[in-house]
Amino acid sequence: MGSLKEKRAFICDMDGVLYHGSRLLGGSREFVDWLKDQDKQYLFLTNSSSRTPGELSEKLAGMGIEVEPEHFMTSGIATAGFLSTQKPGGSAYVIGDNGIRQALLNSGFHLTDQSPDYVVVGETVSYNYPQLEKAINLVLGGAKLIGTNPDVSGPVEEGIGPACRALIAPIEMAAGRQAYFIGKPNPLIMRQSLKRIGCRRAETVIIGDRMDTDIIAGIESEIETVLVLSGITKEKDIDRFPYRPTYVLNGVGDIAGLA
């Protein structure tokens, strides 16, 4: 465990690691304080594309944790970064919330429903049939289909809600096209995160609560991993997977306790 606290950089998932919904998890505030006190490089990474970094900063501030917007990476930002290298100044029809829309605009994209280069789908509560019909026909007309992340479901206040992959599935089925997904476990989002914090893989660790996204993302990117048992994956679930995390801890507060 001694080598974990000596890591220079920490890429950390949020839901299930720092909080559940609107409830702060024990040890989260101490962990963030430790990152700051130890002068670590850190980035909070979420597979959701719904919120902007500013909105995520406000969410944590409401829980008593002060983190500046530049310390957040979302699948929306990663998607916009990828598309801006593929088609600089391109256009997109977006089914999604403010996070993905703002990220694309900041990357120089034009949002339109008239012959776009891409149809981009992220999480949203305003998903409706006219959007679905429009997206299908735009893809049939030649637009490339992009998903911000491959999550089928995610936690909501009432339990579980549909995430990006569930929302994009009807478009794939009706148009006969497969989407390309940017978020974890795609190593693309990990490489963008490393560039943001200016650190090498060997001096970085990724922390998450899911074996099927966070941990496999780290493994496929050759970054050491920390599974915390405060979210989706429980200790009894680990052996179901053909790979293992580097470390297993009860929560992120355990990392601060190592210092």
Catalytic residue flag (residue 237): no
Among residues 13, 117, 214, 254, the one annotated as catalytic is 13
Catalytic residue flag (residue 13): yes
Q: How far is 146 from 96, CA to CA, in rounded Å? A: 12
Which residues does the annotation mark as catalytic? 13, 15
